[in-house]
Amino acid sequence: MGYKYSDPVAWIDEDRKKDVLAAYHDGYMKSLVISDHGIPERTPVEASVVYPTGSTREEQKQVVDRAEQRNLKVIQAVIGAQCCVEHYRSQKVIGTEDTFVVTVEVYKEYTAVSLLKAEGSAYYIKDTARISMRAPVPENEHRFLYHIAMNVNRIKYKNGINPALHPAMKVVLAGNFWDEMTRVKYMEERLTDCKVFSYKPAHALTLGGCLFLRKYGKRHPVRVFYDEFVYAQCTLPLSHLETLSPERQEEYWRKIRAVSQKDEKFYIQNYNAQDYLDVYESIQRDYPCFSFYYEYGSKKTILTTEVQNGKCVTVENIAYPDKCGWKLQEIEQKADEIIRTCINGKALSDDEIVAAVYSYMAKNYKYTKEARKNGQFPENTYSIECLLSAGVCSGYSLSMVFILRNLLQIPTSYVSGECIQTEIHNVASGNHAWNAIETPKKLGCRYYDLTFDLGGSDFGYYALDETQMRSRGHFIDGNERLLCACR
């Protein structure tokens, strides 16, 4: 399936594997990450780059040199603070009422705290403080955060910002340092007269860079990326990857690469049945289409053993069922139709997209009425194939992950647990599934149970915290509570 993008922007890291490439999806009217695992081999010939705010000319030259080593032709550049502001403007966190905004960008070598002022429709950098402190080891973390908060206050007072005239000033964060919500909450506690926002901070600069260059750039190159697993190249919060050990996290990514390359065999390191199931389930919950490559229809993936260098090695012989390709294409087309209907030609924030998709699904889908066989509904009702007809709780939860997380890159997680209450939509007490979603205007994640809101318009299970879910008889499994709590 081809995805048409324009205005590609790259963040060039010293480590090639940490390069980030983003571009603007013309159909979905939002910028998306193409890859945060390094620049793909099939890169655009022309691309723009992000310069860290406060960087010297020599440092900027190094960025361009590294980009050219990645076979990128650099056509223009944008400063990190302006990228950061555009990212949060697109999420409608920053509005026309915000004359001043502070950005905090944590880089490897230093941290940049900048004050930007609105002039007309654009924000210009008024002042920047370059703090010569690297991201700290855990025991020095509070000192590091305190120093950042102190510099935010200092840059405000230095430039004569009167809190009485600019109450609840916005402070927006960029850099993967802010992926841990405890750090963001610390900043909130220190900056009591400000509103602190952290949303997809690891990608804020490249996503915002695409938007900035669409508005103010001189050139707008277009590229179509062909990749069946293109949405597996972006790491988002609320991933089940976080529940795995470091060794199994590596297996998680190796397996995804193997499937995206259509490898027929996958060699499993130090096979353990429980670990194998944990990795498979984590991938399937993060990328619901994954199961189609393994077990769609009658052709199944099987495990065998081979002898290599005198040792027995477990081998996964991946099935790639004949019909899975066209079925997945049919499902992707349906998901694409839902997204375009919900967006309706408008550039929406992620909050607005979640509301539109949730409302559409609740209005247009029902709990399956297909007959049970041996206590089970048909297989298609438990997977994203339910988008083509109707499903059960797991099917709808996976569908929300597929649409929101995989296609629109909104942090969304499949949540399993126990539901204890009277039957609603044929959902009785017992095992149940719903979603955790992180959006820009809500610090941390909230819970959404589409199954219980099917057929309605006055939603009782939309954007609830865990206490509210428990009061409605929803109890989350232990591992997934930890996953959601980290954000």
Q: Token match 């298609």: residue?
A: 380
Report how far residue 21's alpha carbon sits from residue 11's, in angstroms, rounded to the nearest whole number.
6
Does domain 237-322 fall under CATH 1.10.1060? My reply is no
CB 265 within 8 A of CB 317: yes
* Best CA proximity match to 105, nearest among 86, 130, 139, 125: 130
Q: Cα(402)–Cα(366) distance, rounded to whole angstroms?
A: 18
- CATH fold of 84-204 reads Nucleotidyltransferase; domain 5 (3.30.420)
Nearest 10 degrees: CA dihedral of 417, 419, 420, 423?
A: -160
How does strand 100-106 pair with strand 30-35?
Answer: unpaired
Tokens representing 148 are 């950042």
- Is 78 in contact with 45 (CB distance < 8 Å)? no
- Hey, do 2-78+205-226 and 84-204 end up sharing a CATH topology, with the first three levels equal? yes
Q: How many whole angstroms separate alpha carbon 215 and alpha carbon 258?
A: 39
Nearest C-alpha neighbor of 47 from the set 226, 225, 230: 225
- Which token pair is 77? 């550049």
Q: What is the pLDDT of residue 486?
A: 44
Listed residue (194, 176, 207, 237) closest to 445, CA to CA: 237
Residue 120 token pair = 């007309």
Query: pLDDT tens, position by position, for the chain (487 residues)?
Result: 567 889 999 999 988 889 999 999 999 999 999 999 888 776 667 899 999 999 999 999 999 999 999 989 999 999 999 999 999 999 999 999 999 999 999 999 999 999 999 999 999 999 999 998 766 667 788 899 999 999 999 999 999 998 788 888 999 999 999 988 899 999 999 999 999 999 999 999 999 999 999 999 988 888 776 555 556 688 899 999 988 999 999 999 999 888 888 888 999 878 888 999 999 999 999 999 888 877 766 667 888 888 888 888 899 988 777 667 778 889 999 999 999 999 999 999 999 999 999 999 999 999 998 877 777 888 899 999 999 999 999 999 999 999 999 999 999 999 999 998 755 555 556 889 999 999 998 767 899 999 999 998 889 999 999 999 999 999 988 666 556 654 4
What are the CA-CA distances from residue 394 to residues 85, 401, 431, 451 (Å)?
37, 11, 10, 9
Element (H, E) at 103: strand 100-106
- The predicted pLDDT at position 40 comes to 76
Domain boundaries, the chain: 2-78+205-226, 84-204, 237-322, 325-485
pLDDT at residue number 302: 84
Q: Which residues contact 296 (CB under 8 A, 6 or more apart)?
A: 321, 323, 324, 327
β-bridge partners, 49: 10, 77
β partners of residue 47: 74
The CA distance from 333 to 388, in Å, is 10
- The three-class DSSP label of residue 375 is coil
Q: Does domain 2-78+205-226 have CATH number 3.30.420.40?
A: yes
Residue 114 and residue 103: Cα distance in Å, rounded? 5
Distance from C-alpha of 256 to C-alpha of 340, rounded to nearest angstrom: 28
SS3 418: strand
- Taking the C-alpha atoms of residue 354 and residue 359, their distance in angstroms, rounded to an integer, is 8
* CA dist., res. 97 & res. 349, Å (int): 17
Integer CA distances (angstroms), 93 to 14, 197, 350, 442, in order:
31, 8, 11, 10
CB 320 within 8 A of CB 262: yes
CATH 3.10.620 fits 325-485, yes or no: yes
Round to whole Å and give the CA distance between 146 and 142: 6
Instruction: Give me the count of residues in the chain.
Output: 487
Supply φ then ψ for residue 320, to 5 degrees.
Answer: 45, 65
Pairing mode, if any, of strands 265-268 and 311-317?
antiparallel
Q: What is the pTM of this model?
A: 0.93
Q: Which residues pair with 417 in a beta bridge?
A: 432, 476
Q: How far apart are CA 175 and CA 36, in angstroms?
A: 13
